[in-house]
Amino acid sequence: MDAIDFSHHLSPISAARTPSPLKSLMKYMSMDGMISLAGGLPHPSLFPFVNIEAEVYSPGVYLPSNTSESDSELLRFNVHRNGRANGQVVDLATGLQYAPTAGFPWLLQYVRDFVRVVYQPAYKNFDVLMNDGSTDGWSKVVNLLCEPGDYILLEKYTFPSTQANWIPMGCKGVPLEMDAHGIRADVLERTLREWDNAHPGVKRPHILYVIPTGQNPTGCTMPVARKQEIYDICVKYDVIIVEDDPYYILQFDTYKLPSVANGHTAPPPPPSYDEAAFLDSLVKTFLSIDVQGRVIRLDTFSKTMAPGNRLGFFTCSPLFAERILRATETSTQAASGWSQSIVSELLHAWGPGLGGYLRWLSGLQSQYVIRRNWMCDAFAKEFDAVQEGDEVIVYGKGTRVKLLSFVPPQAGMFLWVKVYLSENKEYAGLFKSSSEDPETAFEQKLWQDIIDAKLLISPGRFYVAWEGEKKPRDAAERDIVHFRLAFSMTTKEKVDLAIQRLAGVLHHAWGLA
Amino acid sequence: MDAIDFSHHLSPISAARTPSPLKSLMKYMSMDGMISLAGGLPHPSLFPFVNIEAEVYSPGVYLPSNTSESDSELLRFNVHRNGRANGQVVDLATGLQYAPTAGFPWLLQYVRDFVRVVYQPAYKNFDVLMNDGSTDGWSKVVNLLCEPGDYILLEKYTFPSTQANWIPMGCKGVPLEMDAHGIRADVLERTLREWDNAHPGVKRPHILYVIPTGQNPTGCTMPVARKQEIYDICVKYDVIIVEDDPYYILQFDTYKLPSVANGHTAPPPPPSYDEAAFLDSLVKTFLSIDVQGRVIRLDTFSKTMAPGNRLGFFTCSPLFAERILRATETSTQAASGWSQSIVSELLHAWGPGLGGYLRWLSGLQSQYVIRRNWMCDAFAKEFDAVQEGDEVIVYGKGTRVKLLSFVPPQAGMFLWVKVYLSENKEYAGLFKSSSEDPETAFEQKLWQDIIDAKLLISPGRFYVAWEGEKKPRDAAERDIVHFRLAFSMTTKEKVDLAIQRLAGVLHHAWGLA
């Protein structure tokens, strides 16, 4: 089945784009014996770069089952000016020249294969094209679909840059309530059903932005059943879904408190790497249930290789891909030739096919599981923690004073900590009586105390989605504030010290120390 | 003197941008002893990249005075994960991490020094920031300054992508007549003076886009006297000048036909490289006369190193730089870490200071002079050519039939060929009598004949700037068409063959063969 026609979703600017006349010359360039004086290209012999030799990790280096020394030896590959003859998949003479806007052909084919095998789109004629990372990707989607005055459906808590892009354009947000599985389907349905009554004369939202795996900031992951419910509602109300999924590959097992798991912090390593089992363990994507071409999926190499690549890709219908291509021609033009060359040769060196890269991703996953566990374990050590259903409830050490809770994330990089203020005397007294917005005022004060203890975390209010031009009062619940703690970037020693500092501040602030 | 306040030029979208709240955390991250769990950064030990060893040309390789073997040996440098300790100016652990939006600090300082020494801005507090190449740069300037309905002043012939960016936004062009020195100052003055009468109720244009050196497509270069005239008019009418100058460094001596120069094609190589003389030979920039901060200058590494870098930089006032930075945060975020790392280490390896890079640029210039001469010489060989003032007039071989003319470019990559149709019988008969737009119809036919002879060149109509949504009839002069021939990309053998093929087609079409 092919994608259906969604051209009525295009913004007027996107619909008005025309191809460059110079593009019409392309087909002549490759004709036999043709001499082209048409393009203003520097001659590659005048590039200063002759060869790059890269040393990289082998794809199996991080697998828990990797015990052989040889497996962790460094691999080497070259990206030479004329390296195609020596088995390279790209060469610098073309890789550093003006290049196809959609991406390098070899890389596009690789990514297309990856999408087919890992995400399994439910329609046939999906297209892929490279971008300069997901922030660039989302910015291009906004320009593709949004015009001033549009309302965009999104999670109640979201990544701030998501909004920063379209608020200046005069677009508005419709924050949707979440539970442990992400956006609530009933809330989405009601919002759309009641839209015309609630917003007479205002265009109904036609875009849903969602971070389905290891959501930023809440860390929650949307199961496929919820995705299906949401997809069906989007079909009913003709909403385009933007699936921004940078943490997709960082999916974890369920965390168990050390005491529960008989003192073992991490689960024992799996006996061996099994590609089919790895693929099977990953939650199904929106793309996998998208029979219409209604989903625009954003992927990035930032979390799976390195953010400095500034390299990601869209998966979407041919119509959307073509319009994004037109917009790319007059803005970023193409992703960096260095990034595309080096990532291409790395994927090639890691071959055959997708095999090496999938092996790398599985190993990477295991590294983030360990980091998630370090952080959760540290809470269990510094406080009294018990597991209740999905949640870990955290009490003051040796007390029954409930300080905070979190759902140990099953994906991503973030722990979203919910702090309960009701038993804090200072809050109950000073802040609740004198402040218009006592939660935010106390959050600010507590956050500063934590800074003073030499620990930097993100205040929850940064992540509150809002509707209009002005950010409203913190939309958090009554007597509750949140903090986001990233476990991606720190060593075990530092995480232990960080949570110790946090515990010191909280015990003191609650009068427990 | 500092830049004056031009905030009234900002587009409403640009003026409305706010910094990400996450940026407010930056200042805490570098505090002594601080542990940060604030950023969602992957740990650099989880990047697969350990080291890159690059082989590059020495900066003197292309200097005509370079006769020593050792000078053209390859240089080697590393970009290692932890290479700062070994004298690298960047390392992959930070270079491939999320990075400052404005650019890598070392590279920004280098670029700032380059701007100060080479362009000599006339005001003090100019700022520089990196972008993803000049197409990205121009796109960001359009978003910075333009709103739908704005008119943009530009050269009568211009690079098509320049317009493709803002036409879908509903902006319009004001093409300005050019002479051999670029935009005519009197035409600019009259256009602005008469604007309100000619366009009652329409906002006067407040942006001038100009490619001052080796203009694309006409190849002309604007002398500083013309720049000063245009600058003064822009001050009078409060117009922001966007100086898009990718070919700045590719400036050449004046071309002499082989017969004139006693049979010598190229001038004898200079006795030695002299940095001060090289700098002194370059035409002064708009920036050098900009006492107000009214100029936004776009530079790129595409022509001086390689287009695949997708790396360029803005020079502009702090106000404009800050607004562009805000827009970059929510779109491209930062230029590729690979591009910035490798270009930084190359510039460092080529040191000391700006020395090596200036030497490289001087050598590069000499290579493009040779290529310009190859093409001009080939015309002299295949046709009868005479020099008249700035122009080379080209007649059919052994005839007095004037076929074409060109001004041998003193910069850039392009020869802009003016073809005279009045003595072509087919044009005078068939085309002039039957066609509404005989020039365009004949251009199309002639261009196809040239394609059939296995030569691809760009039709002049591609470069005609136009005012409104629909492209009008070709704005070329009566009985004249243009073609753009790039001399940048071809070997001498191919250029000779190309012009031979062109001569064959023209002689045949004019009944001279």
Q: Do B37 and A486 count as a contact with CB atoms less than 8 A apart?
A: yes
How far does the CA of residue B415 sit from the closest CA of chain A (Å)?
Answer: 10
A–B interface: beta-carbon pairs under 8 A: 339
Where is pLDDT greater, at A384 or B470?
A: A384
Q: Do B48 and A305 count as a contact with CB atoms less than 8 A apart?
A: yes
Classify residue A98: in a domain, yes or no. yes
Angle at which helices B337-349 and B355-382 pack, to 10 degrees?
100
Chain B residues in contact with A53 by the CB 8 A cut-off are 52-53, 55
Q: Is the peptide bond before A270 cis (omega within 30 degrees of 0)?
A: no
Tally of domains in chain A: 2
Note the pLDDT of residue A27. 86
The number of beta carbons lying within 10 Å of the beta carbon of residue A271 is: 8
Q: Do B54 and A49 count as a contact with CB atoms less than 8 A apart?
A: yes
Classify residue A189: in a domain, yes or no. yes
Mean pLDDT, residues B251-270 taken together: 68
Q: What are phi and psi of A251, to 5 degrees?
A: -100, 140
Residues 6+ positions from B412 with CB-CB distance below 8 Å: B213, B214, B215, B216, B219, B221, B247, B250
Chain B residues in contact with A20 by the CB 8 A cut-off are 160-161, 164
Pick the residue from chain B with its C-alpha nearest to A142: B331
Q: Do A34 and B305 count as a contact with CB atoms less than 8 A apart?
A: no
- Which member of A33, A135, A413 has the closest CB to residue B40? A413
CB half-sphere exposure, A434, CA atoms < 13 A? 7
Chain B residues in contact with A167 by the CB 8 A cut-off are 16, 18
Q: Is residue A397 located within the same domain as residue A425?
A: yes
H helices of A69-133, where? Answer: 92-95, 105-114
- Which member of A329, A333, A462 has the closest CB to residue B133? A333
Which of A301, A317, A349 terminates a domain? The answer is A349
Classify residue A362: in a domain, yes or no. no
- Which member of A306, A336, A497 has the closest CB to residue B339? A336
Could you tell me the two tokens for A372? 């998630």
Q: Do A41 and B414 count as a contact with CB atoms less than 8 A apart?
A: no
The answer to which of A215-219, A504-508, B44-48, B191-195 has the lowest mean pLDDT is B44-48
Per-residue pLDDT for A69 more than 60?
no
Which of B349, B374, B401 terminates a domain? The answer is B349
Among A20, A134, A331, pick the best mutation site for testing chain B contact (most B Cβ within 10 A).
A331
How far does the CA of residue A259 sit from the closest CA of chain B (Å)?
Answer: 25
Q: Is residue B471 located within the same domain as residue B434?
A: yes
Classify residue B467: in a domain, yes or no. yes
Helix (H) / strand (E) containing B379: helix B355-382
Residues 6+ positions from B483 with CB-CB distance below 8 Å: B416, B417, B419, B447, B457, B458, B459, B460
Among B331, B345, B449, pick the best mutation site for testing chain A contact (most A Cβ within 10 A).
B331
Classify residue B231: in a domain, yes or no. yes
Phi/psi region, residue B434 (left: phi>0; alpha: psi -120 to 50; beta: rest), is alpha
Strand partners, A175: A154
pLDDT digits (tens, 9 = 90+) for B102-129: 999 999 999 999 999 999 999 999 999 9
Pick the residue from chain A with its C-alpha nearest to B138: A331
Q: Do A135 and B333 count as a contact with CB atoms less than 8 A apart?
A: yes
Q: Do A308 and B488 count as a contact with CB atoms less than 8 A apart?
A: no
Classify residue A448: in a domain, yes or no. yes
Chain B residues in contact with A164 by the CB 8 A cut-off are 17-18, 20, 329-330
Mean pLDDT, residues A375-383 taken together: 97
Chain A residues in contact with B346 by the CB 8 A cut-off are 48-49
Q: Is residue B476 located within the same domain as residue B383?
A: yes
- Which member of A54, A303, A338 has the closest CB to residue B339? A338
Three-state SS at A369: helix
Q: Is residue B445 located within the same domain as residue B474?
A: yes
Note the pLDDT of residue A490. 84
Q: Is residue A345 located within the same domain as residue A388?
A: no
How far does the CA of residue A236 sit from the closest CA of chain B (Å)?
Answer: 31
Per-residue pLDDT for A432 more than 70?
yes
How far does the CA of residue B149 sit from the closest CA of chain A (Å)?
Answer: 13
Q: Do B55 and A50 count as a contact with CB atoms less than 8 A apart?
A: yes
Pick the residue from chain A with its C-alpha nearest to B59: A48
Note the pLDDT of residue B407. 96
Domain limits at A474?
Answer: 369-509
CA angle B324–B326–B330, rounded 5-degree value: 110
pLDDT digits (tens, 9 = 90+) for B62-71: 877 665 555 5
What is the Cα–Cα distance from A299 to A115, expressed in whole angstroms? 10
Q: Is residue A139 located within the same domain as residue A190?
A: yes
Chain A residues in contact with B49 by the CB 8 A cut-off are 54-56, 305-306, 342, 346
B430 falls in which pLDDT band (50, 70, 90)? confident
Could you tell me the two tokens for B513? 């063969």
Classify residue B47: in a domain, yes or no. no
Mapping DSSP onto H, E and C, the string for A343-366 reads HHHHHHHCCCCCHHHHHHHHHHHH
Q: Do B22 and A458 count as a contact with CB atoms less than 8 A apart?
A: yes
How far does the CA of residue A16 sit from the closest CA of chain B (Å)?
Answer: 5
Mean pLDDT, residues A414-443 taken together: 91
Pick the residue from chain B with its C-alpha nearest to A412: B40
How far does the CA of residue A420 sit from the closest CA of chain B (Å)?
Answer: 20
- Which member of B62, B161, B498 has the closest CB to residue A37? B498
Chain B residues in contact with A308 by the CB 8 A cut-off are 92, 95-99, 336-338, 341
Given a contact cutoff of 8 angstroms between Cβ atoms, the answer to whether B498 and B487 are in contact is no
How far does the CA of residue A397 sit from the closest CA of chain B (Å)?
Answer: 22
What CATH number does the domain containing B94 carry?
3.40.640.10
Q: Is residue B393 located within the same domain as residue B498?
A: yes
pLDDT digits (tens, 9 = 90+) for B471-511: 555 556 889 999 999 999 888 999 999 999 999 999 999 99
Q: Is the peptide bond before A48 cis (omega within 30 degrees of 0)?
A: no
How far does the CA of residue B430 sit from the closest CA of chain A (Å)?
Answer: 27
Q: Do A97 and B308 count as a contact with CB atoms less than 8 A apart?
A: yes
Task: Map tokens 């003076």 to a residue.
Answer: B193
pLDDT digits (tens, 9 = 90+) for A461-500: 999 998 775 655 555 688 999 999 999 988 899 999 999 9
What is the Cα–Cα distance from B350 to B337, expressed in whole angstroms? 20
What CATH number does the domain containing A392 carry?
3.90.1150.10
Note the pLDDT of residue B262. 47
Q: Count of residues for chain A?
A: 513
Note the pLDDT of residue B29. 87
Q: Do A307 and B96 count as a contact with CB atoms less than 8 A apart?
A: yes
Mean pLDDT, residues B421-430 taken together: 92
Q: Is residue A148 located within the same domain as residue A207?
A: yes
DSSP B440: H
DSSP A422: T
Q: Is the peptide bond before B269 cis (omega within 30 degrees of 0)?
A: no
Pick the residue from chain A with its C-alpha nearest to B51: A55
Q: Do B42 and A302 count as a contact with CB atoms less than 8 A apart?
A: yes
Chain B residues in contact with A161 by the CB 8 A cut-off are 20, 22, 329-330
Q: Is residue A334 located within the same domain as residue A406?
A: no
Which of B349, B384, B404 terminates a domain? The answer is B349
Could you tell me the two tokens for A144? 């593709």
Q: Is residue B301 located within the same domain as residue B391?
A: no
Q: Do B40 and A346 count as a contact with CB atoms less than 8 A apart?
A: no
Chain B residues in contact with A342 by the CB 8 A cut-off are 49, 52, 338
- Which member of B331, B346, B364 has the closest CB to residue A139? B331
H helices of A96-184, where? Answer: 105-114, 134-145, 160-164
Q: Is residue B501 located within the same domain as residue B417?
A: yes
Q: Do B336 and A98 count as a contact with CB atoms less than 8 A apart?
A: no
Q: Do B13 and A53 count as a contact with CB atoms less than 8 A apart?
A: no
Q: Is residue B379 located within the same domain as residue B239?
A: no
A261 falls in which pLDDT band (50, 70, 90)? very low
Note the pLDDT of residue A258. 85
Classify residue A272: in a domain, yes or no. no
Per-residue pLDDT for A243 more than 50?
yes
Note the pLDDT of residue A431. 79
Q: What are phi and psi of A89, to 5 degrees?
A: -95, -15
